[in-house]
């Protein structure tokens, strides 16, 4: 998958007006995911993405930070610079595009490293909103 296709999927799924906000949502989501995964898993995931997208995963620390999906969504919101409900919608769009772009085995590896409450984000489920 090429960067244009990935960004186009995020733009379409999140119903964004142009590529720029889709890139911003992708950056915010993947940088936050990298914090939670740690450097090794982030590098494996990034290797299956277009280089321009994979670089957002390069900022991971050697070890993962431990935080739940509510904290994940709050961090994405802060990074993206949008309200939490908007950010939740965007993060889900990015994670859906991610599942199309990389192998099922890699997605399974990512999910194995995350607490169970992250499954609702990867499934695109509506789920409850995080506490503000």
- Domains in the chain with CATH codes: 3-11+18-122 (1.10.490.110)
Cα distances from 27 to residues 56, 77, 81, 105, 127, in angstroms, run 6, 11, 12, 23, 23
Tokens 């499934």 locate to 123
Confidence of residue 6 (pLDDT cuts 50, 70, 90): very high
Total-model pTM: 0.90
| Pairwise CA distance, residues 57 & 41, whole Å | 9
Long-range contacts at 115-118 (CB < 8 A, ≥ 24 apart): 115/68, 115/69, 117/68, 117/69, 117/70, 118/69, 118/72
- Express each pLDDT in 37-77 by its tens digit: 988 999 999 999 999 999 999 877 777 889 999 999 999 99
3-state secondary structure of 71: helix
Confidence of residue 124 (pLDDT cuts 50, 70, 90): low
């Amino acid at each position: 998958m090429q960067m244009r296709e990935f960004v186009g999927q995020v733009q379409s799924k999140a119903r964004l007006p142009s590529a720029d906000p889709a890139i911003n949502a992708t950056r915010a989501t993947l940088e936050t995911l990298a914090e939670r995964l740690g450097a090794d898993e982030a590098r494996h995931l990034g290797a299956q993405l277009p280089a321009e997208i994979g670089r957002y995963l390069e900022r991971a620390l050697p070890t993962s930070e431990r935080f739940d999906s509510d904290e994940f969504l709050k961090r994405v919101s802060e990074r993206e610079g949008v309200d939490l409900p908007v950010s939740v919608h965007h993060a889900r769009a990015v994670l859906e595009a991610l599942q199309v772009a990389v192998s099922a085995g890699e997605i399974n590896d990512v999910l194995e490293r995350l607490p169970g409450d992250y499954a609702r984000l990867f499934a695109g489920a509506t789920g409850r909103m995080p506490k503000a």
